[in-house]
Structure 1
Amino acid sequence: MSNVSMSVIPADIALGRLLADIRRLVVIESPSSDLAAVERSARAVGALIAERLGAEAETLVIDGVTHLRVRFGDGPSRVLILTHHDTVWPIGTLERIPFEVEGDILTGPGSFDMKAGLVSGIHAIAAVLERTPALDGVTLLVTGDEELGSSTSRELIEAEAAGCAGVLVLEAAADGGALKIARKGVSTYRVVITGRASHAGLEPELGVNAVVELAHQIVRIAALGAAEHGTTVTPTVVDGGTAQNTVPATASVRVDVRAATRAEQDRVDSAIRSLSPVLERASITVEGGPNRPPMEPEASAALFERTRRVAAEIGIEHLAGVSVGGGSDGNFTAGIGVPTLDGLGAVGAGAHADHEHVRVHHLPERTALVAALIEDLAGAAR
């Protein structure tokens, strides 16, 4: 039996207010690496939470990064709504890509990824509070370093998710509004070659060419991909050498790895750490490793089916789910075994690109879905 009451969903989630609140956050630019900007953004989010939810957000500063948390009720958290307020866009992007709404298209840096989703989540909680002022067991977590890999917030995210019945990740939806029911795990490496410098004209034979060794290793690294398993291993940034007439003593390559399963992520990790030199007297050092575990389909399966049922009850049909290559904080919660559903945020396209945009007409429906799912999960937990 469903815990959703149709009366919890307003007949028309106020689109004008949604748009106004999205603008409030988008015009406060918050590039992840600018800690002062992230702090200013957090203050704006906190003010919005206070206004819409009547709650004071806790400010959590970890290694200089500002995160926010709001807990509803005195009981243990059973539903975690997971969002972030940092973006990839540098200060000044608004001058080039201003916040605008033209017809069904809303634009602005960080609008799709993921300030519209954050605002939608706040409005969804507000809709639930209209019916259940004594809402219990629900936590809203707004982190400030997701775009940098969540190094300061990972432990916080995992601690808040532990024991929850479900984690709702309000990252942007996949194409066509599909939810994200699986994500690849992400690993990042820097493979460093150490050789020996010598004069390239006078005594090249005395040198150990780190760039040549790196070329051998790049071929090996690229060959670790496995298309049949959805595993990609991509050498990206290469650096090496100091002067035209000098045998290079050092060289390096950065490597991006995406894997759909923990077994594949572990296989590639082991292989990269086992690289051995081809050239005599060269050496290899490997930095980095797995950053986000895979969010495998099993983590979302039951929650996705529950969401489809809840969606149908409020008139949303044909809700699709897809697997995607990008990572999110949902990888962490799924990685510790907590049911997790991602892509519940804005419908649109262009994350991290100049054509980033939100499809306006989906905003009320998406907000209503999140509200219904919160009530269903919180009700089942009581």
Structure 2
Amino acid sequence: MDLDAMLGDLGELVVRESFSADHRAVARSAEVVAGQGYRRLGSRAETIVIGGVTHLRWTFGTPRVLLLGHHDTVWPIGSLLDRPWSVSGGIARGPGVFDMKAGLVQMFHALAALPSPEGVCVLITGDEEVGSPTSRALVEESARACAAAFVLEASAEGGALKIARKGTSMYEVLAHGRGAHAGLDPGRGANAGVELAHQILAVTGIADQVNDGEADGGRTAHGSLGPATVTPTVLSAGTTANTVPALARLAVDVRVPTLSAQRRVDELMRALSPRIGGTRLEITGGPNRPPLEHASSAGLFALARKVAADLGLAPLSGVGVGGASDGNFTAGAGCPTLDGLGAVGGGAHADDEHVVVAEMPGRAALLAGLIRASLG
């Protein structure tokens, strides 16, 4: 693998900012990504725009292997001014360099190293960082047609592959009450804020109920994802300081190690009931990404370790992580999935985001070997 060429491609992607919320910027980024794909693979991308968001797909023959990534980032336009693209001391920096533009570069170079990309589908989405609202169906559709999905998200610490991911759910609890003057006649009101306080306590107890029912507490055969977590986050109530709140709302973040835990959380969230007379509850939201359970990655992880050994690379490790990716969708669609095959580095979504450039050729070679072995 030509490291200088890889760094040239990486710089080209990083300087083309692609903040998820800016659909025009994402479209411009897609043009650059498509250009790199054409340059490396000799094939033009299928451009798919859904809800104003630009996604790219290459299909070579009848797909059996899905390569999955995203080109949007969490960094607002203008972040390059404070975090310019640079390579110094073997470290590449810049917004989105680790999550996950280096992974895209490694993917293109891996495919270019194969005699033929026949049997591969490449899907690069433009809204992963905001939960994949327009691309989820596209990801799942592509995964169902394949026997393996390799996700080019950044690696875990030390280059570890991600062999399990927690599933995610997001809820909003709305407490509807009845407004009244807080000084003249508070008894006429039904305080939605106080009702919400009761619900916060109820929500915080859901995780214990779920984890007590999980046979292994959320543990997997390789390390631990940890237990399910149900976390109240953003809350608000009322309109003025002298009015009994008629409405209060609470956001709830849920992370679960198993699909059964995700379903049980959903049951308990929807079973919440009001405690104060004159109030009612409205529960919105629900599961977003299913968990990527260890069973989905076990076979591919074993294959990756063999490929790495055959290539003379350092032994691979695998970890479970709390964050979600589009790999959760491919696993949920029934496609064996291995995640974290992208860059080695750190600082995703943080000021110290970086990539260890010397690792890029080896990671590309690992991916190429995995594709070759999976296609037989």
Query: In which range does the TM-score fall when normalised by the shorter chain?
Result: over 0.9
Counterpart for residue 295 of structure 2 = 298
1:92 equivalent to 2:92? Answer no
The residue type equivalent to 1:347 in the other structure is: V
Counterpart for residue 341 of structure 1 = 338
Counterpart for residue 175 of structure 2 = 193
1:18 equivalent to 2:15? Answer no
1:59 to 24, 34, 47: 47
Counterpart for residue 216 of structure 1 = 198
Unaligned runs of 5+ in 2: 212-216, 219-226
Between the aligned partners of 2:369 and 2:74, the Cα distance in structure 1 is: 31
1:107 to 93, 96, 105: 93
Counterpart for residue 9 of structure 1 = none
Between the aligned partners of 1:50 and 1:266, the Cα distance in structure 2 is: 43
**Sequence identity (%):** 56
Q: Give the superposition deviation at 1:342.
A: 0.1
Q: Look up the SS of the partner of 2:106 in the other structure.
A: helix
Between the aligned partners of 2:173 and 2:353, the Cα distance in structure 1 is: 33
2:328 to 326, 331, 337: 331
Counterpart for residue 214 of structure 2 = none
Q: Look up the SS of the partner of 2:350 in the other structure.
A: coil
> Could you list the per-position Cα deviations for residues 306-325 of structure 1 after superposition, in whole angstroms to 9, with x for gaps in the alignment?
11111110011320001000
Between the aligned partners of 1:224 and 1:354, the Cα distance in structure 2 is: 35
The within-5 A match list for 1:37-186 is: 37-72=25-60, 74=61, 76-128=62-114, 132-133=115-116, 135-186=117-168
CA contact (8 A) 2:150 2:337 kept: yes
The residue type equivalent to 1:214 in the other structure is: L
Counterpart for residue 311 of structure 1 = 308
Q: Look up the SS of the partner of 2:16 in the other structure.
A: coil
Between the aligned partners of 1:144 and 1:118, the Cα distance in structure 2 is: 13
CA contact (8 A) 2:56 2:123 kept: yes
> Could you list the per-position Cα deviations for residues 5-59 of structure 1 after superposition, in whole angstroms to 9, with x for gaps in the alignment?
xxxxxxxx11111111111011111111111011000001011111111110010
**Over 4 Å off, 4+ runs:** none
Q: Give the superposition deviation at 1:162.
A: 1.1
Q: Look up the SS of the partner of 2:104 in the other structure.
A: helix
Between the aligned partners of 2:365 and 2:333, the Cα distance in structure 1 is: 28
Q: Give the superposition deviation at 1:163.
A: 3.2
Counterpart for residue 28 of structure 1 = 16
> Could you list the per-position Cα deviations for residues 107-151 of structure 1 after superposition, in whole angstroms to 9, with x for gaps in the alignment?
1111110001011101110111xxx24x31101110001011111
Q: Look up the SS of the partner of 1:119 in the other structure.
A: helix
The residue type equivalent to 1:250 in the other structure is: L
Between the aligned partners of 1:97 and 1:225, the Cα distance in structure 2 is: 39
Between the aligned partners of 2:252 and 2:88, the Cα distance in structure 1 is: 40
Between the aligned partners of 2:197 and 2:49, the Cα distance in structure 1 is: 43
Counterpart for residue 6 of structure 1 = none
For the aligned residues, what is the CA RMSD?
1.0
Q: Look up the SS of the partner of 2:207 in the other structure.
A: coil
The within-5 A match list for 1:344-363 is: 344-363=341-360
The residue type equivalent to 2:175 in the other structure is: I
The TM-score with structure 1 as length reference comes to: 0.93
Q: Give the superposition deviation at 1:104.
A: 2.1
The residue type equivalent to 2:182 in the other structure is: A
> Could you list the per-position Cα deviations for residues 148-173 of structure 1 after superposition, in whole angstroms to 9, with x for gaps in the alignment?
11111111111111131210000000
Unaligned runs of 5+ in 1: 1-12
1:235 equivalent to 2:232? Answer yes
Between the aligned partners of 1:265 and 1:323, the Cα distance in structure 2 is: 17
Between the aligned partners of 2:97 and 2:356, the Cα distance in structure 1 is: 11
The residue type equivalent to 1:127 in the other structure is: A
Between the aligned partners of 1:361 and 1:239, the Cα distance in structure 2 is: 48
Counterpart for residue 267 of structure 1 = 264
Counterpart for residue 223 of structure 2 = none
Between the aligned partners of 2:178 and 2:5, the Cα distance in structure 1 is: 64
| Number of positions where the alignment pairs a residue of Structure 1 with one of Structure 2 | 361
2:364 to 349, 358, 367: 367
The residue type equivalent to 1:251 in the other structure is: A
Q: Give the superposition deviation at 1:71.
A: 1.1
Between the aligned partners of 1:177 and 1:219, the Cα distance in structure 2 is: 39
The residue type equivalent to 1:159 in the other structure is: E
The TM-score with structure 2 as length reference comes to: 0.94
1:284 equivalent to 2:278? Answer no
CA contact (8 A) 2:308 2:315 kept: no
Between the aligned partners of 2:56 and 2:333, the Cα distance in structure 1 is: 22
Q: Give the superposition deviation at 1:377.
A: 1.1
Q: Look up the SS of the partner of 1:225 in the other structure.
A: helix
